[in-house]
Structure 1
């Protein structure tokens, strides 16, 4: 009876959450997995922006691009941050874009932002990596401020002092409890950091881990009211494409993924100036990362490429 009640409660909350999430076809047909197997491996595309996903203004670029790779067994997830300035071949898009070389975050703009932008970005990434995706989400990171505040803030560890170019606030080395405004401000910084945008990518990965840690610490499952508030706030910050998989089934499949099972990965690459424009270019074609993703050998690749792996 307890198990039945738990499942019934989860379905009730999932239904409420499901109604708050916007749904769109975010994946280009060429980038979409034909049939998602929830036993894994799974590959999801997360596109973050400071603007709401429903904003149709075409003059916008994706602020954050992550590939989430979950190997079979669903006990680990690799958060692969794609450099926003990575030089790539962008295919023609439905917004009248004829295709060409550009920074990868421009694909979202060339596609018209929103659904069209996500489709062109997914097609670009699929061409680059050889992956097909099991789903995608447009994430309003600014909207996550409410989620973080509902969780009571998150603990973020600052490794290098940095002054915010947005607020002037100074983040000093050490671990600090941050509210939503502070945490989101911190993870947007990249100037005056030793690793520049690579450090920003790492900090965004850290924030996702910190949010999962905090969710576990606050015992959300034992507080249905708080859980409902958090789920609805998360749902209001997302536009999703689950590739036809019911959201309830997806949540059930990944519910036991531990927070310490998250691994941060950076794409092997380096900065380069081309015709007086700053880009990031792949290091030796990505140093085998994309092949490892396709062949389900990421754990071995990570062990052999510690330089590009970060502890979250």
Structure 2
């Protein structure tokens, strides 16, 4: 069932932004010992070169049911571990942290993005599969994290520094550890697959209801595009909650938050505790106002491919520009200053152009228009 394969991107935020920033308040030896390590880069060859000291985290959600209680599985109506053995990834996030560690971009990558999946061995290891067109989520299903990373790096020419994988169970734990998350929908939601029924307006959701919210994709005809927008809004809501409630400055709340997430997180084996401590100290002042969320620019969200079928197609010009700016750690917003003649007028002002349609994590989707 497609809706049962949605990604729990809130837990990605906990590592991409909030959890990473919190590590300096915790015992790093304890953290390093509890995070599950996986080797994801060892088999990848001909990788892109780094052009700055900024960091790029690929955050991937797995729909594995491991860690969920029977009651949670029943409430979500997603089937047991036996029904959905293993894990799939339908939505990914690229979390870019600037070289100055004072800004971050969180880029949603649609699960049906049309890519060229590189040549690889079959899952049973018996034969070689040539490079072929496919959807980006298929690369994770066919070859796990290494093939997904290779596929994305070849598509973007952006080097991935670190990999984070999270699960269903971590999502519910994070939300409950924060005391619930406030969301606001401008329209009523009644999704037959995620089983979320919610009136328009503001609601505080617990872990299970929040999981339904970020899975929702079948009520408004917008599919994964609408779901990604709601997921981005949810990420922003978590940032607002974490920063406004003092989670990062409260050792008791922070430890509860950490314990709820860390047992369900896997990280690449290249991250050591010194890296985490340094990054945490650098990111301590990162706030929701200087974190921007966006989706890869698209030319056709409902494209067709003769062998792959329904696909999402990126905008060649804008998507290339986006990845170039991220690779070079450049600002996504462009400021156009008035000409010398115009600046002589009292009303002349610089104009900010946001061609990638970003939003700040401080934005409230239901706030009155300015």
How high is the TM-score relative to the length of structure 1? Answer: 0.83
Indicate the residue corresponding to 1:273 in structure 2: 304
How many angstroms does 1:51 deviate by?
Answer: 1.3
How many angstroms does 1:120 deviate by?
Answer: 0.6
Q: Quote the Cα distance in structure 1 between the aligned partners of 2:46 and 2:161.
A: 9
Q: Quote the Cα distance in structure 1 between the aligned partners of 2:248 and 2:321.
A: 40
Query: What's the C-alpha RMSD, in Å, of the aligned pairs?
Result: 3.1
Q: Quote the Cα distance in structure 2 between the aligned partners of 1:33 and 1:229.
A: 38
How many angstroms does 1:294 deviate by?
Answer: 2.1
How many angstroms does 1:261 deviate by?
Answer: 1.8
Deviations 1:154-200 (A, max 9, x none): 11121332223345332222221111111111111122335421221
How many angstroms does 1:10 deviate by?
Answer: 4.0
Deviations 1:16-72 (A, max 9, x none): 3332211112235348688898xx4211100112216899x8864312201111222
Q: What secondary structure does 1:297 align onto?
A: coil
Deviations 1:260-305 (A, max 9, x none): 2221111111221234821111222525222222233342469644
Indicate the residue corresponding to 2:44 in structure 1: 29
Residues 190 and 199 of structure 1 are in contact (CA less than 8 Å); yes or no, is this contact kept in structure 2?
yes
Indicate the residue corresponding to 1:101 in structure 2: 133
Indicate the residue corresponding to 1:199 in structure 2: 226
Residues 32 and 134 of structure 1 are in contact (CA less than 8 Å); yes or no, is this contact kept in structure 2?
no
Which stretch shifts more, 94-103 or 144-153?
94-103
Q: Quote the Cα distance in structure 1 between the aligned partners of 2:174 and 2:148.
A: 26
Indicate the residue corresponding to 2:314 in structure 1: 282
1:1-312 alignment, distance < 5 Å: 10=24, 12-27=26-41, 29-30=44-45, 40-51=53-64, 60-94=87-121, 95=123, 96=125, 98=129, 99-111=131-143, 117-193=144-220, 195-221=222-248, 223-241=250-268, 243-246=270-273, 247-269=276-298, 270=300, 271-275=302-306, 277-285=309-317, 286=319, 288-300=321-333, 304-306=353-355, 308-312=357-361
Specify whether residues 33 and 284 from structure 1 end up closer, same or farther in structure 2 by C-alpha distance, changes over 3 A only: closer
Q: Quote the Cα distance in structure 1 between the aligned partners of 2:134 and 2:282.
A: 37
Residues 13 and 228 of structure 1 are in contact (CA less than 8 Å); yes or no, is this contact kept in structure 2?
no
Residues 50 and 327 of structure 2 are in contact (CA less than 8 Å); yes or no, is this contact kept in structure 1?
no
How many angstroms does 1:100 deviate by?
Answer: 1.4
Residues 48 and 65 of structure 1 are in contact (CA less than 8 Å); yes or no, is this contact kept in structure 2?
yes
Deviations 1:137-161 (A, max 9, x none): 0011442201110110011121332
Indicate the residue corresponding to 1:114 in structure 2: none
Specify whether residues 240 and 32 from structure 1 end up closer, same or farther in structure 2 by C-alpha distance, changes over 3 A only: farther
Residues 332 and 354 of structure 2 are in contact (CA less than 8 Å); yes or no, is this contact kept in structure 1?
no
Specify whether residues 67 and 301 from structure 1 end up closer, same or farther in structure 2 by C-alpha distance, changes over 3 A only: farther
Which stretch shifts more, 83-92 or 15-24?
15-24
Residues 63 and 88 of structure 2 are in contact (CA less than 8 Å); yes or no, is this contact kept in structure 1?
no
Q: Quote the Cα distance in structure 1 between the aligned partners of 2:172 and 2:51.
A: 31
Specify whether residues 71 and 142 from structure 1 end up closer, same or farther in structure 2 by C-alpha distance, changes over 3 A only: same
Q: Quote the Cα distance in structure 2 between the aligned partners of 1:234 and 1:192.
A: 30
Q: What secondary structure does 1:308 align onto?
A: coil
